[in-house]
Amino acid sequence: MKVVLLGTGDAIGTPKIGCHCPACQDALNGGPSQRLRFSVLVEGPGGKVLVDTSPDLRWQMISRGLDHVDGVIWTHGHYDHYAGFGDFHRVQNHVPVYGLKDTLDYILLYLGFLKPERHDVDWFKPFELAGLTFTLFPVNHPPIRESAGVMVTEGDKKVVITGDTNANISQQSLDIMQDADLLIIDAIVPPGINLVKHMNAAEAFELGRQLGAREVVFTHISHMYPPHTEAVKEWPLGKDGMEFII
């Protein structure tokens, strides 16, 4: 299994429009603090799957040489996680899309013109796609009512993507997240900043430790961190285009 972080930014990306903080200035200068919005590409023996479709998906696909995917999984109905799906227009018809019923109902009000092949998924019910097994589990991303994490397995290999969440995750979900080979975790801000909807770096790092993940990488990262080359000395920040072979 191959996992590619297509975009590691939060809803506004880095640089933020009109901002010249240190991280945004580094990004504006072409530095590694540049972050497109959140998407993950998972490649299995039977094809390629997108977990969420960033508003920056067009460039993410072009830069990776992608012109076809075998499925899309949507974790929740926030625009920075689905809006780029519209860029499949005149590229690929009837893309198989997977998600919870209410999530798909909401997203397809906007994107139904593409006539995707809809697959409703239930919590904790595994489904097969691209030679891999995917399982959605509930996380906590208030005020939105329905937000999913994603577990991906291939044999004894396991990748967990938390999705957008705070640290208040149910025990049933924590059980399924245990002992991942790779944990891709929401860590939107540095320590000392407490948000209702997301984890900060300290919370994410502690959750990774509790879950016994072999490797942890942060994503959904805001411009509030120091520039990437400084921040990565202390925290395992992901970077756009980072690849993992599991």
DSSP state, residue 87: G
Q: Are 9 and 38 in contact (CB under 8 A)?
A: yes
| Whole-prediction pTM | 0.95
Helices (H), the chain: 22-28, 57-64, 101-111, 171-177, 201-211, 228-231
In a 13 Å sphere around the CA of 195, the CA atoms on its Cβ side amount to 23
User: What class has domain 2-245?
Assistant: alpha beta
Centroid of chain to Cα 246: 17
Calpha distance 130→118 (Å, rounded): 16
Calpha distance 147→166 (Å, rounded): 11
Calpha distance 1→111 (Å, rounded): 29
From the number of C-beta atoms within 10 Å of its C-beta (0-12, 13-18, 19+), residue 50 rates as: buried
For the chain, 246 residues long, give each residue's pLDDT as a single digit of tens: 999 999 999 999 999 999 999 999 999 999 999 999 999 999 999 999 999 999 999 999 999 999 999 999 999 999 999 999 999 999 999 999 999 999 999 999 999 999 999 999 999 999 999 999 999 999 999 999 899 999 999 999 999 999 999 999 999 999 999 999 999 999 999 998 888 899 999 999 999 999 999 999 999 999 999 999 999 999 999 999 999 999
The domain locations on the chain are: 2-245
Position 178 scores a pLDDT of: 97
